[in-house]
């Protein structure tokens, strides 16, 4: 099992958004990788329409778009990539995702989970939470930058650092050079809408390192 690569360009600032329309302003300022994570906000046709719109917007900007969780719909609509959590990879038809030529990102939180994810030879690994998460309750111990560096030494795939990363601490993560991408959720937003200014500032910091 070996999933397609995301290409050689670093994943960069990797926003995770809850609505398809939020992708356009991100791509307009230079974001090249993004994820739609709607969780339970939509169901049925409404969910499928949201995914179709996200794919359409992403393809217009030639962006690397990952869909969180809904792997059946991802296969149906030929999404660029699918992102799954540790529990999801046990339940999903990972072979079907591979057969469809779709890229796969997998969440990891511990060295053991990294070992499990590496068995799938994914397109990238997400490692976190680096710091205390802003958008969700802390379930796993924080990784911190030192463990991010040490864990990355055993990984030959692109790494996405995630969890509690803000405009104030992103430089500390970027300096490690361990991450091909840095996932951002809250800090690309202002009053729950995409802030182009904040996103550009984050891109600038990432590119310094």
Res 42 pLDDT > 90 = no
The pLDDT value recorded for residue 137 is 75
If you average pLDDT over residues 52-59, what whole number do you get? 98
Q: Is residue 3 part of a domain?
A: no
Q: Is residue 4 part of a domain?
A: no
Q: What is the CA radius of gyration of the chain?
A: 16
At 19-32, the pLDDT tens digits run 999 999 999 999 99
Q: Is residue 5 part of a domain?
A: no
Give the residue numbers spanning the domain of 167. Answer: 12-208
If you average pLDDT over residues 157-181, what whole number do you get? 97
Q: Is residue 2 part of a domain?
A: no
Q: Is residue 149 part of a domain?
A: yes
Q: What gap in Å lies between CA 169 and CA 23, rounded to an integer?
A: 24
Q: Is residue 39 part of a domain?
A: yes
Question: Using the 8-state DSSP alphabet, how is residue 78 labeled?
Answer: T
84 neighbors 116 (Cβ within 8 angstroms): no
Q: Is residue 113 part of a domain?
A: yes
Q: Give the phi and the psi of residue 194 in degrees, each rounded to 5.
A: -60, 130
If you average pLDDT over residues 96-115, what whole number do you get? 97
How far does Cα 35 stand from its chain's mean position? Answer: 6
Q: Is residue 6 part of a domain?
A: no
Beta-carbon contacts of 113 under 8 Å, excluding residues fewer than 6 positions away, are 86, 107
Query: Could you tell me what percent of the chain has a pLDDT over 70?
Result: 99
Positions annotated as catalytic residues are: 37, 107, 136
Question: Any alpha helices (H) in the chain, and if so which ranges?
Answer: 23-28, 44-60, 71-76, 86-91, 94-99, 111-118, 144-152, 170-175, 196-208
pTM to 2 decimal places: 0.96
Mean pLDDT of the chain: 95
CATH number at residue 23: 3.20.20.70
If one counts the domains in the chain, the total is: 1
């Amino acid at each position: 099992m070996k999933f397609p690569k995301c290409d050689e360009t670093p994943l960069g600032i990797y926003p995770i958004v809850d609505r398809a329309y939020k992708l356009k302003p991100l791509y307009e300022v230079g974001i090249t990788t993004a994820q739609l994570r709607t969780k339970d906000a939509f169901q049925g046709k409404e969910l499928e329409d949201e995914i179709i719109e996200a794919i359409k917007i992403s393809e217009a900007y030639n962006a690397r778009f990952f869909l969180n969780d809904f792997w059946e719909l991802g296969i149906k609509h030929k999404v660029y990539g699918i992102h799954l959590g540790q529990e999801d990879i046990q339940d999903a038809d990972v072979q079907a995702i591979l057969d469809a030529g779709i890229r796969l990102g997998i969440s990891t939180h511990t060295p053991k989970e990294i070992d499990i994810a590496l068995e799938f030879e994914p397109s990238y690994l997400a490692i976190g939470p680096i710091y205390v998460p802003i958008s969700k309750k802390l379930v796993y111990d924080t990784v911190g930058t030192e463990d991010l560096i040490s864990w990355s030494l055993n990984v030959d795939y692109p790494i996405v650092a995630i969890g509690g990363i803000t405009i104030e601490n992103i430089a500390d993560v970027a300096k490690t050079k361990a991450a091909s991408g840095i996932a951002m959720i809250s800090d690309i937003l202002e009053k729950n809408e995409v802030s182009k200014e904040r996103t550009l500032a984050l891109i600038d910091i990432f590119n310094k390192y």
